[in-house]
Structure 1
Amino acid sequence: MGTAPFVTVDVFTDRPFGGNPLAVFPDARGLTEGEMQALAAELNLSETTFVLPPEHPGSTARVRIFNRTAEMPFAGHPMVGTGFVLADRSRDGLLRFEVPAGLVDVQVDHDARGAATGATIAAPQPLRIGGALPPGLVAECAGISPDGIVTVRHPPTLASDGGNPRVLVEVTEAALAAATPDLAAFRRAVAATPELGGLLSLYLYRRDGSRLRTRMFSPLTGTWEDPATGSAATPLAGFLLHRSGAISGAWEILQGVEMGRPSLLRTTAQRTPDGIRARVGGGCVRVLQGHAMLPDKPGP
Structure 2
Amino acid sequence: MRPFTQVNVFSADPLGGNPVAVVHDAEGLTDQEMQRFAHWTNLSETTFLLPPTAPEADYRVRIFTPAEELPFAGHPTLGSAHAWLAGGGVPREEGAVVQECGAGLVRLRRGERLAFAAPPLVREGPVAPADVERICRGLRVGRDEVVDIAWADNGPGWIGVLLADADAVLALRPSWPDLVGFEVGVVGAYADEAAARVGAAVEVRAFCPSLGVVEDPVTGSLNASLAQWLIGSGRLPSSYVASQGTALGRNGRVFVDQDGGEIWVGGDTVTVVSGTVEVGARA
TM-score by length of 2: 0.87
Q: Is residue 261 from structure 1 mapped to residue 250 from structure 2 by the alignment? A: yes
Q: SS state of the match for residue 21, structure 1?
A: strand
**Counterpart for residue 235 of structure 1:** 225
**Counterpart for residue 188 of structure 2:** 206
**Counterpart for residue 94 of structure 1:** 96
Q: Is residue 182 from structure 1 mapped to residue 181 from structure 2 by the alignment? A: no
- In the alignment, the residues of structure 2 paired with residue 282 and residue 62 of structure 1 have an alpha-carbon distance, to the nearest angstrom, of 21
**Counterpart for residue 43 of structure 1:** 41
**Counterpart for residue 104 of structure 1:** 106
Contact 1:241/1:270, CA 8 A, preserved across alignment: no
**Counterpart for residue 198 of structure 2:** none
The Cα shift of 1:245 comes to 9.2
- In the alignment, the residues of structure 1 paired with residue 281 and residue 127 of structure 2 have an alpha-carbon distance, to the nearest angstrom, of 49
- In the alignment, the residues of structure 1 paired with residue 248 and residue 73 of structure 2 have an alpha-carbon distance, to the nearest angstrom, of 20
The Cα shift of 1:133 comes to 4.5
- In the alignment, the residues of structure 1 paired with residue 259 and residue 230 of structure 2 have an alpha-carbon distance, to the nearest angstrom, of 11
Q: Decide which moves more: 132-141 or 54-63.
A: 132-141
**Counterpart for residue 144 of structure 1:** 141
Q: Deviations over 1:102-152 (max 9, x none)?
A: 100111235xxxxxxx41001232574132254432221123344432x2x
Give the length in aligned residue pairs: 268
AA in 1 matched with 2:48: F
Contact 1:145/1:175, CA 8 A, preserved across alignment: no
AA in 2 matched with 1:259: L
**Counterpart for residue 249 of structure 1:** 238
Contact 2:37/2:279, CA 8 A, preserved across alignment: no
Q: SS state of the match for residue 95, structure 1?
A: strand
Q: Is residue 223 from structure 1 mapped to residue 205 from structure 2 by the alignment? A: no
Partner of residue 27 from structure 1, selected from 1, 25, 37: 25
Q: SS state of the match for residue 72, structure 2?
A: coil
**Counterpart for residue 273 of structure 2:** 288
Contact 1:10/1:81, CA 8 A, preserved across alignment: yes
Contact 2:162/2:186, CA 8 A, preserved across alignment: yes
AA in 2 matched with 1:202: V
Instruction: In structure 2, list runs of 5 or more residues that go unmatched.
Output: 196-200
Q: Decide which moves more: 139-148 or 32-41.
A: 139-148
**Counterpart for residue 129 of structure 1:** 124
AA in 2 matched with 1:144: V
- In the alignment, the residues of structure 2 paired with residue 41 and residue 53 of structure 1 have an alpha-carbon distance, to the nearest angstrom, of 23
Partner of residue 14 from structure 2, selected from 3, 16, 19: 16
The Cα shift of 1:291 comes to 2.5
AA in 2 matched with 1:140: R
Q: SS state of the match for residue 132, structure 1?
A: coil
The Cα shift of 1:171 comes to 1.4
When residues 271 and 40 of structure 1 are mapped into structure 2, their CA distance, relative to the original with a 3 A threshold, is same
The Cα shift of 1:174 comes to 4.1
Contact 2:168/2:188, CA 8 A, preserved across alignment: no
Q: SS state of the match for residue 53, structure 2?
A: coil
Contact 2:117/2:264, CA 8 A, preserved across alignment: yes
- In the alignment, the residues of structure 1 paired with residue 128 and residue 239 of structure 2 have an alpha-carbon distance, to the nearest angstrom, of 26
Q: Deviations over 1:50-104 (max 9, x none)?
A: 1100112221011100011111010000111111112242342211111111100
The Cα shift of 1:31 comes to 1.2
When residues 296 and 242 of structure 1 are mapped into structure 2, their CA distance, relative to the original with a 3 A threshold, is closer
TM-score by length of 1: 0.82
AA in 1 matched with 2:161: V
Q: Decide which moves more: 30-39 or 84-93.
A: 84-93
The Cα shift of 1:222 comes to 1.2
Q: SS state of the match for residue 111, structure 2?
A: strand
AA in 2 matched with 1:165: G
